[in-house]
Amino acid sequence: MTDRTPGFHTLAIHAGAAPDAATGARATPIYQTTSFVFDDVDHAASLFGLQAFGNIYTRIGNPTCAVLEERVAALEGGTAALAVASGHAAEFLTMHALMQPGDEFIAARKLYGGSINQFNHSYKNFGWNVVWAETDDPSTFEAAITERTKAIFVESIANPGGVIVDLEAIGAIAKKHKIPFIVDNTMATPYLIRPFEYGADIIVHSATKFLGGHGNSIGGVIVDGGSFNWMGDDRYPMLSKPRPEYGGMVLAETFGNFAFAIATRVLGLRDMGPALSPFNAFLILQGIETLPLRMQRHSDNALKVAEHLAGHKAVSWVSYPGLRTDRYHNLAKRYCPKGAGAVFTFGLHGGYDAGVRLVSNLKLFSHLANIGDTRSLVIHPASTTHRQLTDEQRRIAGAGPEVVRLSIGLEDPEDLIADLDQALEAAA
Ligand SMILES: *Cc1c(COP(=O)(O)O)cnc(C)c1O
């Protein structure tokens, strides 16, 4: 590269990758191996002691995964990253580096359903307690802070799509109280929103969705913003206290502004084990090469479909921040002027039964529980993902009987609109 600062499209293709030193291979090789040979015992000792960077065993790092890590760190503007087996693993290892038993973190109520489960139930086994705040009211985050609060967690574009979070306002509260601010940037991706510019300290991704982008690989990424000062902060012993596993090394002292990424690797990934397969890293990297093209097309297509649905007689409401009349339109203009993403919900006059008929009549849309595929996807949450909840719980989760969620793909928008029209007709 030249000494120009590369633009986003260039980074999406080149960051972290160079022709393979051994073979000249231009595409990133898939290092499909469990382990790497040491030069000698001293080399092994320096790797295990964290005195040298290098490869030991694919559970704690792999050269194909390393390209993915560098690529996502560059796109987000972070100092370093860690690739892991899934988005949930990224969330878990992030919390594992920050939380001790009895600690609390504050999370926005509007989150991916799996994250709500993870926070409410699984984390209880570790003594980590979630305190919920109102996604649209930053003052509720500040009001929830106690001396046990170790982190604040939000999604930039929040589930079930169509919710733009005021990152700057919540980031300012986190900074004022010296609490790390974690942003799940899965739905926006760094093409639409770069949370480090608004006060995030740590970014997590489900690479399963738009980063990979083709519905073929589960993966996750943690990105260190390098902005939080862990040194001397007794609240974060994983980072600021001597680590017995590493001869008393203090990670924040040795690794400075990428100590968080190191902690999630050498303590979290090493001991908990959710490693990303090099093959999946390759597929996710392949996806990222076209991330800016895809995200623009996803957003443009979603806006066209949302506009069409907003004028349809069977539709009672559409929640898409790209629409001028939407309650989040001003936040969308501020945080994601290029587009508001692929995922949104709308309501059917015909209620529950119309929702069930719609998903069974769609032909081009696939009826499944994922987002962020080249293909357009649909789900009627009340009859599927949220079926086990009560009516009241469903309504609070934004999954009332009439709600349908779409993840708009990269097809011709006219074909998507025609498919929705025929299915709405059949469902009426
Ligand atoms: C899917 C998703 C996750 C979980 O990711 P997995 O890769 O499925 O483990 C977390 N956050 C958001 C916003 C998601 O959409």
Question: Does residue 23 lie in a domain region?
Answer: no
Atom of ligand 1 minimally distant from the CA of 111 = 13
Who's near 86: CB < 8 A, 6+ residues apart? Answer: 206, 208, 218, 219, 220, 274
Tell me which residue range forms the domain holding 361: 291-427
Do 305 and 236 reside in the same domain of the chain? no
Gap between the Cα atoms of 424 and 428, Å rounded: 6
Question: Does residue 25 lie in a domain region?
Answer: no
Q: Ligand 1 centre from 87 Cα, in Å? A: 5
We report the CATH number of the domain holding residue 364 as 3.90.1150.10
Q: Ligand 1 centre from 372 Cα, in Å? A: 10
* Rg of the chain in Å (alpha carbons): 22
Read off the DSSP letter of residue 389.
S
Q: Ligand 1 centre from 207 Cα, in Å? A: 8
Q: Ligand 1 centre from 53 Cα, in Å? A: 30
Q: 19-66 pLDDT, tens per residue?
A: 999 999 999 999 999 999 999 999 999 999 999 999 999 999 999 999
Do 242 and 324 reside in the same domain of the chain? no
Do 128 and 275 reside in the same domain of the chain? yes
Do 211 and 76 reside in the same domain of the chain? yes
62: nearest Cα among 204, 213, 259, 265:
265
pLDDT at 93: 98
Are 112 and 154 spatial neighbours (Cβ–Cβ below 8 Å)? no
Name the amino acid, one letter, at 13: I
pLDDT at 390: 83
Beta strand 149-155 pairing with 181-184: parallel
pLDDT at 45: 95
How many helices (DSSP H) and strands (DSSP E) are in the chain? Answer: 18, 14
Cβ atoms within 10 Å of 371's Cβ, excluding its own: 25
C-alpha distance from residue 275 to each of 66, 87, 231, 272 (Å) = 12, 12, 28, 9
Q: 89-123 pLDDT, tens per residue?
A: 999 999 999 999 999 999 999 999 899 999 999 99
Q: Which of 226, 257, 287 is the last residue of a domain?
A: 287
Q: Is the pLDDT at 396 greater than 80, yes or no?
A: no
Who's near 258: CB < 8 A, 6+ residues apart? Answer: 79, 80, 224, 226
Read off the DSSP letter of residue 337.
T
Are 243 and 236 spatial neighbours (Cβ–Cβ below 8 Å)? no
Q: Ligand 1 centre from 403 Cα, in Å? A: 21
Question: Does residue 268 lie in a domain region?
Answer: yes
Question: Does residue 50 lie in a domain region?
Answer: yes
pLDDT at 356: 96
Ligand 1 contact via 280 beta carbon (within 6 Å): no
Question: Does residue 5 lie in a domain region?
Answer: no
Q: Is the pLDDT at 255 greater than 80, yes or no?
A: yes
258: nearest Cα among 53, 44, 17, 7:
53
Pocket test for ligand 1, best of 118, 182, 186 (most atoms within 8 A of CB): 186
Q: Ligand 1 centre from 88 Cα, in Å? A: 6
Q: Is the pLDDT at 267 greater than 80, yes or no?
A: yes
Do 415 and 369 reside in the same domain of the chain? yes
Gap between the Cα atoms of 198 and 188, Å rounded: 14
Helix or strand holding residue 246 (H, E) = none
Q: Ligand 1 centre from 195 Cα, in Å? A: 17
Atom of ligand 1 minimally distant from the CA of 89 = 9
Ligand 1 contact via 86 beta carbon (within 6 Å): yes
* Token couple for 402: 């009439």
Atom of ligand 1 minimally distant from the CA of 220 = 7
With a pLDDT cut of 70, the percent of the chain lying above it is 100
Residue 143 banded pLDDT, cuts 50, 70, 90 = very high
**Between these two residues, 426 and 254, which has the higher pLDDT value?**
254
Ligand 1 contact via 206 beta carbon (within 6 Å): yes
* Token couple for 267: 């303590």
Residue nearest to atom 6 of ligand 1 (CA): 87
Do 359 and 380 reside in the same domain of the chain? yes
Mean pLDDT of 391-414: 91
Q: 169-226 pLDDT, tens per residue?
A: 999 999 999 999 999 999 999 999 999 999 999 999 999 999 999 999 999 999 999 9
- Tell me what the pLDDT averaged over the chain comes to: 96
Helix or strand holding residue 407 (H, E) = strand 403-407
- DSSP-derived 3-state class of residue 380: coil
Question: Does residue 126 lie in a domain region?
Answer: yes
Cβ atoms within 10 Å of 414's Cβ, excluding its own: 10
Ligand 1 contact via 94 beta carbon (within 6 Å): no
Gap between the Cα atoms of 210 and 371, Å rounded: 8
Q: Which of 269, 287, 305 is the last residue of a domain?
A: 287
Do 159 and 40 reside in the same domain of the chain? yes
Q: Which of 287, 320, 354 is the last residue of a domain?
A: 287
Do 165 and 309 reside in the same domain of the chain? no
Question: Does residue 301 lie in a domain region?
Answer: yes
Q: Ligand 1 centre from 49 Cα, in Å? A: 33
Do 327 and 269 reside in the same domain of the chain? no
Residue 1 banded pLDDT, cuts 50, 70, 90 = low
We report the CATH number of the domain holding residue 67 as 3.40.640.10
User: pTM of this prediction?
Assistant: 0.97
Pocket test for ligand 1, best of 68, 163, 206, 385 (most atoms within 8 A of CB): 206
Do 60 and 202 reside in the same domain of the chain? yes
Who's near 25: CB < 8 A, 6+ residues apart? Answer: 19
Alpha carbon dihedral 321, 171, 255, 97, in 10-degree steps, equals -80
Atom of ligand 1 minimally distant from the CA of 208 = 7
pLDDT at 290: 98
DSSP line for 167-217:
HHHHHHHHHHTT--EEEE-TTTHHHH--GGGGT-SEEEEETTTTTT-SS--
Burial of 248 (0-12, 13-18, 19+ CB in 10 A): exposed
Do 102 and 140 reside in the same domain of the chain? yes
Ligand 1 contact via 326 beta carbon (within 6 Å): no
Residue nearest to atom 1 of ligand 1 (CA): 206
Cβ atoms within 10 Å of 293's Cβ, excluding its own: 13
CA angle 412, 209, 160 (to 5 degrees): 85
Who's near 386: CB < 8 A, 6+ residues apart? Answer: 113, 393, 394, 397, 399
Q: Ligand 1 centre from 219 Cα, in Å? A: 9
Ligand 1 contact via 186 beta carbon (within 6 Å): yes
Gap between the Cα atoms of 290 and 67, Å rounded: 16
Q: Ligand 1 centre from 286 Cα, in Å? A: 19
Residue 368 banded pLDDT, cuts 50, 70, 90 = very high
Q: Ligand 1 centre from 206 Cα, in Å? A: 5
Do 253 and 341 reside in the same domain of the chain? no
Q: 295-331 pLDDT, tens per residue?
A: 999 999 999 999 999 999 999 999 999 999 999 999 9
271: nearest Cα among 295, 304, 238:
238
Ligand 1 contact via 373 beta carbon (within 6 Å): no
Q: Is the pLDDT at 376 greater than 60, yes or no?
A: yes
Q: Is the pLDDT at 2 greater than 80, yes or no?
A: no
Query: How many independent structural domains does the chain possess?
Result: 2
Ligand 1 contact via 114 beta carbon (within 6 Å): yes
Mean pLDDT of 389-412: 89
